[in-house]
Structure 1
Amino acid sequence: MAKPRVVLGVSGGIAAYKACELLRRLTESGHEVRVVPTAASLHFVGEATWSALSGQPAATEVWHDVHQVPHVRIGQEADLVVVAPATADLLARAAHGLADDLLTNTLLTARAPVVLAPAMHTEMWEHPATRANVATLRERGAVVIEPAVGRLTGADTGKGRLPDPEEIFEVCRRVLARGPEGLVPDLAGRRIVISAGGTREPLDPVRYLGNRSTGLQGYALARTAVARGARVTLIAANTALPDPAGADVVRVQTAVQLREAVLKAAGEADVVVMAAAVADFRPAVYATGKIKKRDGREPDAVALVRNPDILAEVSAERARPGQLVVGFAAETDDVLANGRAKLARKGCDLLVVNEVGEDKTFGSAQNEAVVLGADGSEHPVPYGPKEALADTVWDLVTARLD
């Protein structure tokens, strides 16, 4: 089979050097990559580097190899165009349809999905002109990834950092996996809140009550939603995973903190997905000092109190008309029966039910589930990558949003 053809555009920001890692991941995973840098980007990474790493010529102007009409052919033949970093200048030229170099010509002629990964200082990202350009590009079907928060050029810190190349690669991979459907980001303009991971309820400064959830499924939901054009807020409870490109990540520890974060973010959300494993109970008393083992004496019993039922609360008190709520149910026996009972009890629109155990689901890159709908529908998802389950969830969500 022919290798997927990817055009990697690189514009003139200090983050251009990070595109080398993105290029490596694309080529090593079997993609044919043509790098199209801007003239300004060559001040950061030279043309020879791009040619050597990609195995293909890298040119900035339309006048190279004119007989092959590169300003038209490169875009026409691409299966995906990704620009990383995309500077404020590049976004402006793309939004206004300018074509003064090979990269902007390629963007105009491309009929494949386009992914743009902005990187710039916070003030430039927040400027009304940039925000308007981003909105225009998204309306036209481009996936514009939200920049990350972190250290920028010099001593500045804020939103505008290029997401990790590995995470940009994951967005590209998900867009390519959707094939022709990737041309239409069906979650574009939608705001989505996703909880992931497992809460921890402190017993003393050393110990806590927790669970086995690693957050892999919630993060898969976030990555696939970004690839389908959504604005994602990911509320992560005690995960050790890298931030998904394009998602605004809020970190929490306990069920009470998770509830506060979800309710705050849900006010502007079209969809709330509760994929986190939330502790049902927490210790009634927190010991300010480490609980000591006493010779000859059994430990005192640990009294527990109920945690808030976040899924039921969000389902009962929708923050906005038409808001969809998706829950997760981890069961060990009578999986479907318990799942249907929980769906009725919680009042959500969809409930993803999966069987869990020591060697099932938690910590695995694979999952198997049944998605139950409040309308009586039932959608089995066979054992496979968690991204596949995530895409099934979004397929069912988009059908209900429409």
Structure 2
Amino acid sequence: MAQEILVLGAGMVGVSAALELTLRGHAVTLVDRRAPGQETSYGNAGVIQREAVEPYGMPRDLGTLLSVALRRSLDVHYHVGGLLSVLPQLFRYWRASAPDRHRQISRQYASLIAHATSEHERYMALADAQDLVRKDGLRLVYRTPQAFDQALLDSERLQREYGIVFAPMDGDALSAAEPAFRIALAGAVHWLDSWSVSDPGALVERYARLFQQQGGRLLVGNAESLRATASGWQIDTTQGTVDAAHAVVALGPWAAQLTRRLGYRLPLFVKRGYHRHYTGGASVKLPMLDAERGYVLSPQRRGLRLTTGAEIAHQDARPTPHQLTGAEAEARGLLTLGEPVEVDPWLGSRPCCADMKPVIGRAPLHKGLWFNFGHGHQGFTLGPASARLLADLIENRAPYTDAQPFSPARFGA
């Protein structure tokens, strides 16, 4: 039966949820303060990571933790105040990263990742977005033989356990594939099933346009005005008040503020990240992670995009692009980087949950309220797969994959 549904948040996760529900015949209003794809979904590396079957765990060896604590690593940077404010979440994250727990979480997480490209494929065909997508993989490059040898062992295990496919590349093969590299590297792992997008924000916009073509409404409004009514949910927009039987919170890094006001104490936190585009220099043929340095280079419409690792800080704290400066220096040693396009680098936040799994499903304390957030580094990858799962739950269908691991109820009422 068709229902009136509000979706709050017009990033990849929210737009996908709104689109899926509209395709199923529901009357959906998508609300955000900005146009679709202008926040976190704009700022990522543009990779649909089919290979990312195991979420990023927290390092547990003393050497790596000490390197992070002393700010010697480009992978992680932190503000002291921001770090202290999320210590409880980080402690839960550290516990969840223990080997046995991480293996269990990964098996659950992989059940969504397994559908990442196929669900995007469905939307891309409907949205006429194939021109934005390349389906020739992602490379993880390694500078030292020791790191490369370990990466091959890890990749063989992932291929064996999850069926994802990779091609090993020694230093000579990598040099031939990426002739812009001016130093010799040990080798690369080429994950063949992952896709790349030349303009992540534009892909979200295409999905949002399809949503509107299918009859969905896109309105400007503030999610903080969401309130329960006797018959469901209500929100204020620039075109007036909108009522619906159901409301979906898909606010990414802003979900914690609203859910806390509604009485939920979820172990959410953000990891900030930076990017910048460069033109007039060399590029790479495929997106690549410089695995021992902790940054990504991705060819985009606006130039070669360099994205950083994680910064633990208050979401609205002043920018401190330490990682970007270091990553730029490393990239310039690898190839001729060119000149920056933006005067100031882009800064955004990734919405993370302490157990490394997204929060998808019915809110325990409120009728007609649904959650779809906490995707960490993979909201862009998992938007359509999460949308299908959420829509199954809203319609009270048997979910296409096990929903229990992602349920908001796993944290208690």
Q: Shorter-chain-normalised TM-score: which range?
A: under 0.3
More relative contact order, 1 or 2 (CA 8 Å, 6+ apart) = 2
What is the TM-score of this pair, normalised by structure 1? 0.26
Report the TM-score, using the length of structure 2 for normalisation: 0.26
* Higher CA-based Rg: 1
